[in-house]
Amino acid sequence: MREITIPISDEIIRSLKVGDTVALTGVMLTGRDAVHKWMIETFIKKTRDPQGDDLEVYQAIKPLLEGGVIYHCGPVVSGLDTGEYKFVAAGPTTSIREEPYQGDVMRHFNMKGVIGKGGMGAQTLQACNEVPGVYLHAVGGAASLIAQSVEKVLGVHKMAFGIPEAIWVLQVKEFPVVVTMDSHNHSLHAEVEEKSKAQLDRLLAEA
């Protein structure tokens, strides 16, 4: 397993290939549907004006996403009453829901990694090639195990979105992932889909 520290350089990203196992150490953010929609509408396409703490949050997360990583995760968090937050479970969310947004978010923030499960589509793969970046697959069904890689919750933004949808700022150590989409236009998810379709077509032809 290759150990990589966040923020991640272009050189390291270009050296990663589909199938590589990686242990990430550093600071990462969580972000799901509400966060991606907010980023796109407020700061990228600018179809809505910044409101409330929008600008403050943007200034806080922008340097963390430069060379950084976003994790599609809706965590279970303890310590909500005291503010002494701790991740109890940190399993990945299905990533394809962010496909309409992810490429533009990667380009805007110069973001190098996206973590989730299930893979993403052609738009994100193109952004991985351009930025460059990678898609990193976290193990589904191992939420409690993954949470052990979260050393500390450094902060949280946009709690108004709800606990699963908020932006959690995490200090992680040896966070385990597998590269399934790289910066060289290779996608394990696309390959599996193509092979599955070919197998289905063959079976239908024989029926």
For 184, the token pair is 């060289």
**Residues contacting 177, CB < 8 A, separation 6+:** 21, 22, 23, 24, 115, 136, 137, 138
Sign, CA torsion 148/165/189/126: negative
Q: What type of residue is 99?
A: E
What pLDDT, on the 0 to 100 scale, is given for residue 139? 80
Between helix 122-130 and helix 99-109 the angle, nearest 10°, is: 10
How many residues are present in the chain? 207
Q: Domains of the chain, with CATH numbers?
A: 2-206 (3.20.130.10)
What pLDDT, on the 0 to 100 scale, is given for residue 143? 72
Q: What type of residue is 46?
A: K
Sign, CA torsion 138/143/145/146: positive
For 107, the token pair is 């380009």
DSSP secondary-structure letter at 40? I
Radius of gyration of the chain measured on its C-alpha atoms:
17
For each successive 10 residues of the chain (207 residues), what is the average pLDDT?
A: 97 97 97 98 97 98 98 94 93 95 98 96 97 92 80 96 97 96 93 58 64
Q: Are 91 and 110 in contact (CB under 8 A)?
A: no
36 is catalytic: yes
Q: How far apart are CA 176 and CA 115, in angstroms?
A: 10
Q: How far apart are CA 168 and CA 159, in angstroms?
A: 9
What pTM does this model have?
Answer: 0.91
* Catalytic position from the list 36, 72, 137, 189: 36
DSSP secondary-structure letter at 138? P
